[in-house]
Amino acid sequence: MQKHKIPLDASVLDIGTGNGVFLVELAKFGFSNITGIDYSPSAIQLSGNIIEKEGLSNIKLKVEDFLNLSTKLSGFHICIDKGTLDAISLNPDNAVEKRKQYVKSLSRVLKTFNHFMNNVLQLTYLFLNFYDTVM
């Protein structure tokens, strides 16, 4: 984030936040507009507890299935995914459709479809599949 000179007030969405540790690090670094979603209520509860313990109050958390977004979640400058697309891609139940839906959701929540951080391998995988299946 620092390397890419991303402003600290950029809106950031952490997709599949798990225990929220990445959100905690972002908040400690100074990011002020961060949201974490996870489809697991217990993950959101756990991340809420950790965030509270850390004394951080300005992190938004929501139970959301990224493949079936229920609320108006949009306009984010940055989306981060550490491990969620991997989990979705490894699901034997219709992974291709789920990856397509993931790309659709990503284009819906991002302000512009260009700031998405994932690990390099997974990003390459996503875009290869994106071009194969959607383009």
Contact set with ligand SAM (CB under 6 A):
16-18, 21-22, 37-40, 43, 65-67, 82-84, 87-88
- As to burial, measured by CB atoms within 10 angstroms (0-12 exposed, 13-18 middle, 19+ buried), residue 63 is middle
Q: Which is nearer to ligand SAM, 21 or 117 (CB)?
A: 21
Closest CA to 119 of 30, 7, 22: 22
Q: How far is the CB of 58 from ligand SAM (least distance, A)?
A: 19
Q: How far is the CB of 18 from ligand SAM (least distance, A)?
A: 3
Q: Which is nearer to ligand SAM, 48 or 83 (CB)?
A: 83
In this structure, are residues 103 and 132 in contact, taking their beta carbons and an 8 Å threshold?
A: no
